[in-house]
C-alpha cells in the first residue's frame, strides 16, 4: 500500500511527465496545477483558491480524487455562497453532474452543466472513500485571456497507441482521424497529427483484447490497467489505445470507451485515455471517426444528451429520461419510448429529438452535430490548449 506522501508524489510526477503542470496553451489559455491535498474523514473540505478567490480568468476546474485502494469514491463541491454543486451522496444527480465510481479514482469538472455558469469566485471540495480511507484530491484550473468565457478556439493533441498485433490500415486510420477532426472543428477545436506509440510484448498480448464488465463499464479493471500505460506517451495529449477487440461479458462488441467524464489532464491513471476497437476502423473508418469523436466528447466533459434507460420518478413512478444539463441541447422525452415500449430510448424513437447529436447515447452513423453549449464546455476542457 502506498503512503499518503507516496501517492501525492506519484501524481505530481505523472503530471510532470505528461507536461500538464502549468503548461502554456493556445488562444490565450493556460493550465495551472495540480494543487494536491489529502483528505481524511475528520478533515473539513478545502478551498480550491486558498487565498480566498479564483482568478477572474478561470474558465474551468478539473478535479481528480484518488483513494489508496480500489473502492467507492465520491466528492462534494460547494461554491463560495455554500450552494451545492456536487452532492457527495448523489454525484450523478447533482446540479453539476459527476460520475460516481467504485474503482478508487474519480474525475469531475466544473462546469459540466449550464447551471454551473458563470463560475463562482471559489469552490470548496471534500472527498470520501468507502471505509473512511484517505483520498488524494488534485485540482487543475484552466485560465483564458477571455476572462470567464471559454476560448474561441483550442487545440486537442492526441497520442495513438497500437496494442499488441493490432495493425489498422493506415489509410483507413487517416480517414477516421480526418472525420474526428471535421466534427470537432465545428466546435472550435483543432486536432492535428497525433503522436504515435506502441504497446508490445507481454503487455501487448494482455491488452490486445479487452473484456468490459457490463455492471462496471469504465470502472472495468482491465480497461483501467491499459489506460495507466498512457504514462508512456511520447508527448502530452489524449491517449487513444487501438486494440484488436473490446467486448462485454455477454459477448457483444464495444466500439470505444472513455476512461472517464472527463479524462483528467494527467497520464498514468485508470481514467487517462480512450480504448478503441480497431476492427471498426478497418470496416467503416468514417463511422469509427464518429464513434471516437463521441468518446472524445466524454473525455472533454460531455455527457449523453439523453441516456437510454428510462428512470422512474420517486413517489409517483412516472417515467422520466435522464439528460445532460446543458440548456441548448435537444432532449428525447420518456414518452417517445413506444416502438417498442421496452424501457429504453432508441435512436429511431428519438429521431425527431436528439438522435442526430454526437453525444446521443446510441448515436447512429452520421450523428455528429454539437450545440453551442456543448462546444463551450469542450473548449473549457483541461485537455485542450
> Residue 27 above 90 pLDDT?
no
| Cβ count near 338 (within 10 Å) | 8
Same domain, 196 and 91: no
Pick the closest to residue 198 from 223, 236, 247, 165 (CA basis).
165
Query: Which of 82, 109, 144 marks a domain boundary?
Result: 144
> Residue 7 above 90 pLDDT?
no
Q: Which residues of 184-198 are buried (b: 16+ CB within 10 A; e: fewer)?
A: beebbbbbeebbebe
Same domain, 29 and 103: yes
Distance of CA 280 to the CA centre of its chain: 22
Same domain, 128 and 165: no
Cell 497507441 belongs to: 161
Say what the pLDDT of residue 344 is.
95
Domain, as residue range, for 98: 4-144
Q: Are 187 and 379 in contact (CB under 8 A)?
A: yes
Domain presence at residue 70:
yes
Distance CA 22, CA 37 (A): 17
pLDDT digits (tens, 9 = 90+) for 290-320: 999 999 999 999 999 999 999 987 777 789 9
What nine digits make up the cell of 259? 476512461
Pick the closest to residue 261 from 119, 110, 368, 364 (CA basis).
110
Same domain, 213 and 97: no
Say what the pLDDT of residue 20 is.
44
**pLDDT band at residue 41 under the 50/70/90 scheme:** low
Q: What is the mean pLDDT of residues 326-355?
A: 95
Same domain, 174 and 276: yes
Distance CA 22, CA 313 (A): 44
Amino acid at each position: 500500500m502506498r503512503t499518503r506522501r507516496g501517492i501525492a508524489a506519484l501524481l505530481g510526477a505523472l503530471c510532470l511527465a505528461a507536461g500538464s503542470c502549468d503548461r502554456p496553451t493556445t488562444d490565450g489559455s493556460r493550465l495551472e496545477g495540480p494543487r494536491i491535498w489529502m483528505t481524511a474523514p475528520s478533515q473539513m473540505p478545502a478551498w480550491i483558491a486558498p487565498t480566498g478567490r479564483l482568478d477572474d480568468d478561470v474558465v474551468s476546474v478539473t478535479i481528480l480524487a484518488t483513494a489508496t485502494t480500489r473502492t467507492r469514491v465520491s466528492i462534494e463541491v460547494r461554491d463560495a455562497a455554500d450552494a451545492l454543486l456536487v452532492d457527495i451522496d448523489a454525484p450523478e444527480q447533482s446540479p453539476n453532474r459527476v460520475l460516481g465510481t467504485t474503482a478508487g479514482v474519480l474525475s469531475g469538472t466544473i462546469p459540466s452543466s449550464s447551471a454551473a455558469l458563470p463560475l463562482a469566485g471559489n469552490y470548496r471540495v471534500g472527498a470520501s472513500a468507502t471505509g473512511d480511507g484517505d483520498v488524494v484530491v488534485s485540482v487543475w484550473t484552466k485560465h483564458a485571456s477571455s476572462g470567464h468565457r471559454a476560448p474561441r478556439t483550442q487545440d486537442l493533441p492526441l497520442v495513438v497507441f497500437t496494442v499488441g498485433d493490432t495493425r489498422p490500415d493506415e489509410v483507413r486510420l487517416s480517414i477516421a482521424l480526418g472525420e474526428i477532426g471535421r466534427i470537432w472543428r465545428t466546435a472550435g477545436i483543432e486536432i492535428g497529427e497525433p503522436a504515435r506509440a506502441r504497446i508490445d510484448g507481454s503487455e501487448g498480448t494482455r491488452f490486445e483484447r479487452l473484456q468490459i464488465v457490463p455492471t462496471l463499464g469504465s470502472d472495468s479493471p482491465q480497461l483501467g490497467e491499459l489506460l495507466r500505460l498512457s504514462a508512456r506517451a511520447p508527448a502530452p495529449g489524449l491517449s487513444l489505445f487501438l486494440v484488436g477487440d473490446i467486448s462485454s461479458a455477454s459477448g457483444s462488441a464495444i466500439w470505444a470507451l472513455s476512461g472517464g467524464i472527463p479524462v483528467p489532464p494527467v497520464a498514468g491513471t485508470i481514467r487517462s485515455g480512450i480504448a478503441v476497437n480497431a476492427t471498426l476502423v478497418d470496416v467503416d473508418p468514417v463511422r469509427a471517426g464518429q464513434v471516437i469523436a463521441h468518446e472524445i466528447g466524454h473525455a472533454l466533459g460531455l455527457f449523453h444528451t439523453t441516456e437510454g434507460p428510462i428512470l422512474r420518478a420517486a413517489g409517483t413512478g412516472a417515467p422520466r429520461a435522464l439528460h445532460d444539463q446543458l440548456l441548448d441541447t435537444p432532449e428525447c422525452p420518456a414518452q417517445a419510448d413506444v416502438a417498442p415500449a421496452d424501457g429504453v430510448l432508441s435512436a429511431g424513437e428519438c429521431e425527431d429529438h436528439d438522435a442526430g447529436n454526437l453525444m446521443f447515447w446510441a448515436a447512429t452513423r452520421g450523428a455528429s452535430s454539437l450545440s453551442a453549449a456543448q462546444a463551450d464546455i469542450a473548449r473549457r476542457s483541461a485537455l485542450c490548449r
